[in-house]
Amino acid sequence: MKPAMSVIAAFLATATPAQGEDDPLLRPIAPDHAQEWLTPQQPVQIFGNTYLVGFGGLNIALIRTSDGLILLDGGLPQGVRQIEANIRSLGFEPGEVKLILSTEPHYDHAGGLAALARDTGARVIASAEAAEVLRRGKSGPDDPQMAWLPPFPAVEHVRAARDGEQLQVGDVTVTALATPGHTPGSMSWTWRSCESDHCADIVFASSLTPLAAGDYRFSAPANRSAAARFRETFQRLRSQPCDILLTTHPGASDGEAKLAKLLQDREPNPFIDPQACAAYADTYQQAFAKRLAEEAGTDLPRP
């Protein structure tokens, strides 16, 4: 397997624009605003075969399998080179990535997918709704935040995964968990990881913030089904086997504090918390209820 991967890596190296050249897939998006997410962070092993290779305000996860790597999310275009460097610093090569799993089709999580897919040769997988957005590189009117969202590099080849579908790479099975609400196509991903004789169910969860731009209202008659699916998401996460929760933005689940503790002492592992997914769902269900209450008042513009 290694010689084949070396050939692939050599081909990709010649196909990828040099660092100093203008690369349309790496052009920064919203650089001033996005900078708060891109604080440099050392790559770290969270538990067993699971690592974080992203940034202080933006989680990118990596799973080691017996037959290559799985990457979760692509971050921003301007962060791609750092993600690839973080993968290398762990002793792996980007060319070993076999799958790239997408949580939500917004520029901060999907903006780097096109470049990472090109550089690694990996297949990008997302929910059916998100796959359509990734192919366009732009959200549609069913996204609550569409009015705020800049376009991002379109991903040419995306495979749609259904809710509950299991994806196998080597000795690791990752299961798709539909968690719509923040976007119509939001997808979380779950897998089991073991360290010595201790195994844990890990959830890499999409955002749950009930943000909306312009005249979008979750309570509008046209959006009632979307609001109902958001409520179902809270319940699904609350009942999901979940020993370790990783969220797309670490601040949504106290990830910064947990990581700081982990870097000080791995025992006991601060990320192990069987109540983490339930607490995450509770927090954002309350935020959703607050949003609906505001829509019922005069705080928000009516469509």
List of domains in the chain: 2-16+26-296 (3.60.15.10)
Phi/psi at 3 (5° precision): -60, -40
**2-15 vs 113-120: helix crossing angle, rounded to 10:** 130
**What percent of the chain has pLDDT above 70?**
91
Q: What is the pLDDT of residues 260-269, one digit of tens each?
A: 999 999 999 9
- Examine the pLDDT at 132 and tell me if it is beyond 60: yes
pTM (whole model) above 0.85: yes
pLDDT of 13 higher than 80: no
SS3 48: coil
Nearest to 192 by CA among 183, 182, 204, 181: 204
CB contact burial 39-64 (16+ within 10 A = b; e otherwise):
eebebeebbbbbbbbbbbbbbbbbbb
Look-up: residue for tokens 């957005």? Answer: 133
